[in-house]
A and B are shown apart, each in its own frame.
Chain A
């Protein structure tokens, strides 16, 4: 274990910005490689003990805090229809890095954590206005761009104004009802549905043998078409 202390130049940084930390023995190590989301909560790094520089130079407790938040946000986003691969893309990292953030093996850079928070907020907003279409909206291709990539590349203003961004490019749909001239065939059934007298069929599966779904197209040779010599083809009566 090696005791670290804060480098003098870091005092001018904002609390949420990366800080350099220096080994007491003079060996400089960059917290930037491990990022500092957890470190920002602490004013004095002298009190803390760090492991070797081959692991993120932050206290495990704060890595765990970040991991908790990453997991919570990631799962919240995935519940709205995005895959973990989508989330990683929206954060601007690969899926392995996202898994590392979530497991606490890697401490996320503040920018990546910000991207995740913004992605979570945007997905919540889209879910409210376009339920079940969150992924469609985020991945809708507009030229070479998508909203998901806008978040992943740090263009948060685009993401925040997603309605405007989407409206400029969205396809237009025109719907014109036709006035019914007679009572539709389905009208009685629609009334029954409104009265709660109709239900959806059961979703239970029925076990069937595998050969139910098998065929052998070579058997088609036994039913080759025979047009005959006459002008009339068989098959029509």
Chain B
């Protein structure tokens, strides 16, 4: 795990991927209110919405305040703002005015996704592996020096949608920490083999000078060797095996 003084950076500017926020989490639950053990501490409230006139089945939510880490990429926060700005400029609006108008457009999407921080001891996995970042789906975070963030792991398997106008930021993270988050997200969401580069130097007998990732194909890795030759590696995503059938819990619904 990256030490705290290298993991955290002062928070300022627009929201970024990896920011730790004070916000909340919520999810829909079944009638028996099944909750994985590690999430039970996140569920401060059980909410049931009974529909008027039976228009729909009851909605059951588990929700509560939480520290969360932003999982959306930085550029997501400005996607519609950039689109609106470009459209205005295409219509002949000066750049500064286009940015002002786009900034005042209240219809632009403000939502993003984040995952909650949970205490390591709440997970039934080897703590050493967990805090070393070796358990898929979890990103270890060190305790911050100011005490606002305890030692924890980001549970990337729990994703919530939040509004950027309804959050406060606790701290931002460094570039290396953000890189670890992106790696963890990639491993979890696309399940790509990422060890393909191991011992390539030994196999080909050359030293790798540069590694580049062409923008046109982010799954392509280009290795430039010390003799000027080049190797291109193409990662291939795959899916997990079909798991056991999921069944509704037995016994009467709560």
Contact = CB atoms under 8 A, between A and B. Distances in A.
- Closest 5 pairs between A and B when the two form their complex, measured CB to CB: A205-B81, A235-B238, A201-B15, A198-B168, A189-B22
Given A175-B45, A235-B238, A202 B13 contact: yes
B41 interface: yes
A172 B50 contact: yes
Interface stretch (A6-14, A86-94, A96-104, A225-233): A225-233
A212 B195 CA distance: 27
A234 B52 CA distance: 50
A237 B74 CA distance: 29
A210 interface: yes
Given A189-B170, A192-B148, A203 B103 contact: yes
Contacts of A171: 49-52
Nearest to A198: B168
Interface in A142-190: 142-143, 169-178, 180-182, 184-186, 188-190
Given A175-B47, A188-B150, A225 B239 contact: yes
Contact of A223 (B11, B191, B219): B219
Contacts of B240: 233, 236
Interface size class of A (residues with CB under 8 A): 35 or more
Contacts of A182: 41, 119
B33 to A, nearest CB: 10
B41 A180 contact: yes
Contact of A180 (B44, B152, B170): B44
A200 B167 contact: yes
Contact of B41 (A172, A185, A200, A227): A185
A128 B43 CA distance: 31
Nearest to B47: A175
B164 A207 contact: no
A26 interface: no
B149 A178 contact: no
A60 B4 CA distance: 74
A202 B167 contact: no
Given A174-B50, A193-B168, A222-B234, 12 more contacts: A174-B48, A175-B45, A177-B45, A184-B41, A188-B148, A189-B170, A198-B22, A198-B169, A201-B15, A234-B193, A237-B193, A237-B194
